[in-house]
Amino acid sequence: GSVAASRRGTALHGEEAPPGPAAGLRYTEGERVAAERKMRDAAHRFNRREHGDDVHAIQDGPAMTPRVFRKVMNKTFHMGLSRGEGDALFGIFDADGGGDVDGAEFLSKFFRYNKEEHEREIREEKEAASRRASEAHLARERADRDHRRQLAAELSSFTRRDVASAAQKIRAAAAGYDRTKGGSLESFKGGVDMGPEDFREELKGTFDLKATWPELGLLFYMFDDDGGGTIERAEFLGLFFKLRRDDPDTVEALEILVALTEEELEPIRQAIRDCFTPTDAPAGEEEEEEAFPLVPAAAAAAAEG
């Protein structure tokens, strides 16, 4: 329904009633909400360069009655206030209930609205930027998890034929390495640990060893002795030079790998899948790394038998 606002200057129980809106203001609650929204929109749009002269005119001009107030709001700030909305907004700005709004009274509240709206805009922009950054981070995490799943599937897809070809390629690279040429292993000295992609590129660039993803899975299993999903460069060089000088234990371990059946290779495939497939462990909780044995214990025992 309609709200008929009236001033009460009489005493109640010997006390003077607090000032209220001027008499004759009529508006609904919906009109009050709409009027304040329009005022906030106008405050947000306010530009001192565009409205500077108008502001001075309001500040230096006479106090405004409800009718004049609505006219000024619509003409100067393009609010499009209806009669009820104008009354509602007038009641907000007529803080002392005196029946008129002077320039200082109006501008004080208007600029507070202006400040609040710009602070809100800045806050919302920061919140939106934070949401976008969070969404981008989650998207990168999802893409990384999808990539790791695909990588785990490709690295663990080796067959006996892949094992044999991988072993042949790494032994040929070790046998063919010539120390006298120098420099070819510089990239393996120091530097960060290698993931599968880095390891593949190093093998190709240094030894012209072009490994398929299944072959790389077996080679990664060989050289990642702690099962951490990366290969330390010193870790690689140590085993590489053992192969180069035909270290009996290392050569025997490699030959056992080549001799494994498809069934015996499955624990190695599973170890690769476990290493590279992302889990849903809570953030901050690291999974315990399980070392890759160069040869699975069961297979080694069978070979000895």
- Residue pLDDT, tens place only, 268-291: 999 999 998 877 654 444 445 454
Instruction: Note the pLDDT of residue 171.
Output: 94
Q: Which comes out higher in pLDDT, residue 280 or 201? A: 201
Q: Answer yes or no: is pLDDT of 166 > 90.
A: yes
The mean pLDDT value for 207-211 works out to 92
What CATH topology corresponds to 29-119?
Answer: Recoverin; domain 1 (1.10.238)
Instruction: Note the pLDDT of residue 284.
Output: 46
Q: Residue 218's closest CA among 290, 174, 143, 271?
A: 271
**What is the percentage of the chain residues whose pLDDT exceeds 70?**
78
Say whether pTM exceeds 0.75: no
Distance CA 90, CA 85 (A): 8
Q: Which residues of 103-142 are buried (b: 16+ CB within 10 A; e: fewer)?
A: bebbbeebeebbeebeeeeeeeeeeeeeeeeeeeeeeeee
Q: What is the DSSP letter of 64?
A: B
Q: Answer yes or no: is pLDDT of 95 > 90.
A: no
Cα pseudo-dihedral 67, 71, 76, 82, rounded to 10: 100
Domain with CATH 1.10.238 in the chain: 29-119
Q: Answer yes or no: is pLDDT of 8 > 60.
A: no
- Residue pLDDT, tens place only, 31-86: 999 998 998 888 888 877 666 677 778 877 888 899 999 998 998 888 999 999 99
Q: Which comes out higher in pLDDT, residue 45 or 164? A: 164
